Structure 1
């Protein structure tokens, strides 16, 4: 059966070898059967530049390169520094932050999903700043050790900030969902970021539409399988580290 796979929010890191092992099994056993694989951001817990040639980064790049199917990548809020060098080494295609694809005849908008969380003004301000090209240019010219320290500091501050925010603020704004779907001219939206896997069905200007949210990989894997007829969110056991 023809099918396309979508994943997001794996947050791969050296500290979670169970997630890495589950991802590598998925890439070896499930991804090769698909027509294509889309990674919708936050593949890594943090990216500090393509010159970080860690064992984890090399294993991930090899898994993508060897899977035998087209792999497409959209940056998330944690891995927006993944660049063209890693893409070449992994054999994947970098996509813009919002992309419409033809998914078995259905135009579908795909994205990481953080741009939908417009109620979180503090995060949106942080996002605008960190996407400034000149700031990224300066960051990449810092020593690798210094960048690692900055990344650790940002992770800590992010965790603290989340404790003081309501779940509602960190979720998507439905008005922004409708606006972006209207702008793209689609009836289906697929994204990650919020870590709340679900298939939401609603009406937009009298037309039935759907918003599919991918899950994270903290306690189990989460994969969206789309065929010409169906959309299914599937969980994967992390299992034991192999």
Structure 2
């Protein structure tokens, strides 16, 4: 993709629905306002996971709520602006609802892109890098087809309530890490980026998951960027064709 007067926008970790639908509603409104603002000069929008604090698609049912953000995404996509969605650890059970209803492709792992000659590796970031072995084992159980088939037999009222409880209470299941900066040598995604550079060069590694906005040099002309979140920071990334910036939505 070549950019001229357009920009590419990135956001992650809105966790809509947490801790309750009522408490997350102002955040949903703020995120919709951001989408409304960036659509004016967006060449594409990347959503890097955990848009919802929980999401599970039964064959004929999806979680209640979120109509404003879903409607805004549909409006933007219908206008011709590409949107790309990467599942996070809270919405990893997403399947084809976004693709069929909104024409938004859904990715379950990192993807490579090139914009204006700059190379990007993009993903949510959960389960990458060294450590976090407990979550990695748990994720293998969650994404196994048998686990999803078994969970589908729960009535949605029970299944959604159970998942919401576990999402908040069980950090092993949620995969949420300590939100304090751990230092470059202990930040798993920083180490992951440095290891990837041993075999291939990327100008930017763009991830979410850590809930901390940060930009860290990981090699010559290579940066690791974490997008932060829409709970306490309200930060997002923007690439104008030359440089990548982290910004805060103030409205």
Q: Same fold (TM over 0.5)?
A: yes
2:42 alignment partner in structure 1 = 34
TM-score (norm 1): 0.86
1:60 correspondence with 2:73? no
1:180 alignment partner in structure 2 = 196
Contact 1:181 1:187 in 2 (8 A): no
Shift of 1:12: 1.0
Residues 96 and 79 (structure 1 numbering): CA distance in 2 closer, same or farther, change over 3 Å?
closer
2:16 alignment partner in structure 1 = 12
Say which is worse superposed, 192-201 or 167-176, in terms of deviation: 167-176
In structure 2, C-alpha distance between the alignment counterparts of 1:74 and 1:88, rounded to whole Å? 16
In structure 1, C-alpha distance between the alignment counterparts of 2:54 and 2:63, rounded to whole Å? 13
Residues 182 and 39 (structure 1 numbering): CA distance in 2 closer, same or farther, change over 3 Å?
farther
Q: Which has the higher helix share?
A: 1
Aligned residue pairs total 234
5+ residue gaps, structure 2, are none
Say which is worse superposed, 134-143 or 101-110, in terms of deviation: 134-143
Aligned partner of 1:130 among 142, 159, 177: 142
1:49 correspondence with 2:62? no
Contact 1:181 1:189 in 2 (8 A): no
1:25 correspondence with 2:20? no
Residues 88 and 184 (structure 1 numbering): CA distance in 2 closer, same or farther, change over 3 Å?
farther
Residues 165 and 94 (structure 1 numbering): CA distance in 2 closer, same or farther, change over 3 Å?
closer
Shift of 1:143: 1.1
1:2 correspondence with 2:6? yes
Residues 180 and 27 (structure 1 numbering): CA distance in 2 closer, same or farther, change over 3 Å?
same
Shift of 1:81: 1.5
In structure 2, C-alpha distance between the alignment counterparts of 1:63 and 1:227, rounded to whole Å? 23
1:231 correspondence with 2:239? no
Contact 2:98 2:106 in 1 (8 A): no
5+ residue gaps, structure 1, are none
TM-score (norm 2): 0.83
Q: Deviations over 1:37-59 (max 9, x none)?
A: 00011111111226225231x33
